[in-house]
Structures are given as C-alpha cells and as structure tokens.
C-alpha cells in the first residue's frame, strides 16, 4: 500500500458498493487534505451517507480503497479494519439520524466519546480507586469544556430524551470532540437549526478545525452553509462522481447544476 502524501489525510479511490443490484456508490474518488473543511454534496439518495458508512466500515465496499493518515502517523487501509477500530486511528463520525442514548444525560452521552482513551480497567472502576476517580473527573471536565464551547453546558444534566433536534445534533458533535480526532465526519450537522443558528454554525465548524487541529468532512443540504464553510467540495449523483473543486467551481459546474435541477440527460 502506498503512503499518502504529506498534505492528504483521507484518500478514497474507486469506491463502489451495491445493494442488491442498485449501485449506491459507483467508482467515487476524492481526497481530503489536512486542516481542510471538505463538503460532500448531492441530491437525496445520491449515496453520501453510504460513502460515510463505507469510510467508517459500517459497510464493507465491494471495490476501492480508503486510506487514512492515522493519529499515530501511519497510513492505514481502513477497509482492513472493523468499525469499532476506526476511532482509534483518529477518525470519528456523527449520524444523519442522530445516534444518542436517550436514557442518558447530555454529559454522559458526550463522555461515551472518550471511551477508548480510558486507561483504568474494569476492576479499578468497580472499586472506584483513586486513579479511576481522577481519570473520570478529568474526562468530565473535558466534556464540560466542550459543552461550554458549543453553548449547551447549562443543560449538561438533562436527559437526551425529548430534546429538540438542533440540540441533539450538537450533542453528537460534542461527542466527536472527546477523542482528539484527526478527521471528523459530519452527516447533516446543521439539520434542525434555524437560519441564524446555521450562520453561527459555520463559525463553530471553523473554530473546531482551528482549535482541535482537525480536518472536517461534511454532508449538508444547506447550500449557503456548504458554500460558506467548505474549502473544497465533491459532488455526486446516483452514486456517481460529478465534480470536485472550490465552492465557486462547483457552483459553476454544468453537471452539478443539472443534477440539482434534475434534468436527467445533462447528468
């Protein structure tokens, strides 16, 4: 396997996956650079979430390679790993339909994001030894810090059950920040936010990139947000690659325009 070059953090090449004859993703390739905010766009059913599921190994692609520059500095072929191993390399994600534990508080949900970094084992946790307590308190403090940054610290003890969608999306985002990630994958993070909140959210994403030194790969339907915040964008439709480029280039691209206007023959 070839190592990734200096500036690349994620490289997807010739990715394909089919579900019972339907090619959900068909030969898609793109690369995300270190420190980049990268958008993946496409109409409903284009295959965006499926690409994310392939990257995080929830789906095993039929074809193609997904290479990632890990936290440890090595190039990893993600398709050789299991879905629960991916976060250890510094790649963490959110879900389009929000995957939170509704019986737990916001704070506890965020703490799940720190799971892999715990050093104390089960026995020491059971006896609540000093090191176990200290470690738990340190992660609690970190989680509260993150919640403060996202402006929901005052609700940290609220149960997740029944909270508005916009808040849930934020809690999921907070959870990704617990593991010091190198790349965060966000599936429609601004869903459920109103116009002003969406504007704020652009700043939140940029701040995350700068403060946590990460790259961000996001799927989002709000085009103003995507065009505002992304350094580069990849557009797909019916699982097929359309174009990759800066927001300006993508807006001018004929194939992309056609896909969004729905004129079949142009695509």
Ligand X SMILES: Nc1ncnc2c1ncn2[C@@H]1O[C@H](COP(=O)(O)OP(=O)(O)OP(=O)(O)O)[C@@H](O)[C@H]1O
Residues within the interface to another protein (CB under 8 A): 56, 58, 82-88, 92-93, 95, 99-104, 108, 111-116, 118, 120, 122, 125-128, 132, 136, 175, 179
The interface with ligand X within residues 35-94 (CB under 6 A) comprises 42, 44-50
Nearest approach, Cβ of residue 194 and another protein (Å): 26
| φ/ψ of residue 30, rounded to 5 | -165, 165
CB of 51 to ligand X, least distance (A): 7
Min dist CB 41 to ligand X, Å, is 9
Q: Report what 50 binds from Mg ion, ligand X, another protein, none; CB cut-off 5-8 Å by kind.
A: ligand X
105 binds, among another protein, ligand X, Mg ion, none (CB under 5 to 8 A by kind): none
Chain centroid to CA 2: how far? 24
- Helical residues (DSSP H) of the chain, grouped into ranges: 48-55, 106-112, 122-126, 130-149, 165-176, 195-212, 223-229, 247-252, 254-261
- Dist CA 243 CA 115 (whole Å): 37
Alpha-carbon span 215 to 99, nearest angstrom: 22
| CB-based burial label for 164 (10 Å; 0-12, 13-18, 19+) | exposed
Contact string (CB under 5 A) for Mg ion, positions 78-107, x = contact: ------------------x-----------
Concatenate the DSSP letters of all residues of 85-142 into one string. GGGGGTEEE--TT----TTSBHHHHHHHTTGGG--S-HHHHHTT-HHHHHHHHHHHHH
Q: Does 49 bind Mg ion (CB under 5 A)?
A: yes
Among the residue ranges 6-14, 18-26, 29-37, 122-130, the one whose residues contact ligand X (CB under 6 A): 18-26
42 binds, among another protein, Mg ion, ligand X, none (CB under 5 to 8 A by kind): ligand X
Nearest approach in angstroms of CB 254 to another protein is 37
Residues forming contacts to ligand X in the complex (CB under 6 A) are: 19, 22, 24, 42, 44-50, 96
């Amino acid at each position: 396997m070839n190592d990734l070059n200096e500036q690349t953090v994620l490289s997807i090449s010739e990715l394909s996956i089919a579900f019972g004859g339907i090619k959900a993703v068909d030969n898609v390739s793109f690369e995300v650079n270190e420190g980049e905010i990268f958008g993946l766009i496409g109409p409903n059913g284009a295959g965006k979430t499926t690409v994310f599921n392939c990257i995080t190994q929830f789906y095993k692609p039929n074809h193609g390679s997904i290479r990632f520059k890990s936290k440890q500095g090595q190039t990893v072929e993600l398709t050789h790993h299991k879905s629960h191993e991916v976060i250890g390399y510094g790649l963490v994600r959110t879900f389009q339909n929000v995957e939170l534990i509704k019986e737990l508080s916001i704070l506890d949900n965020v703490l799940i994001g720190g799971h892999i970094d715990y050093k104390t084992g089960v026995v020491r946790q059971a006896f609540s030894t000093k090191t176990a307590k200290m470690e738990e308190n340190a992660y609690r403090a970190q989680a509260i810090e993150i919640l403060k940054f996202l402006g929901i610290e005052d609700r940290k003890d609220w149960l997740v059950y029944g909270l508005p969608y916009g808040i849930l999306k934020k809690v999921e985002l907070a959870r990704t920040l617990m593991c010091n990630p190198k790349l965060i994958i966000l599936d429609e993070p601004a869903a459920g936010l109103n116009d002003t909140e969406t504007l704020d959210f652009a700043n939140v994403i940029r701040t995350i990139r700068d403060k946590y030194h990460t790259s961000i790969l996001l799927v989002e339907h709000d085009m103003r947000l995507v065009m505002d915040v992304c350094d580069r964008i990849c557009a797909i439709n019916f699982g097929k690659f359309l174009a990759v480029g800066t927001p300006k280039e993508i807006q001018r691209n004929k194939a992309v325009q056609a896909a969004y206007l729905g004129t079949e023959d142009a695509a």
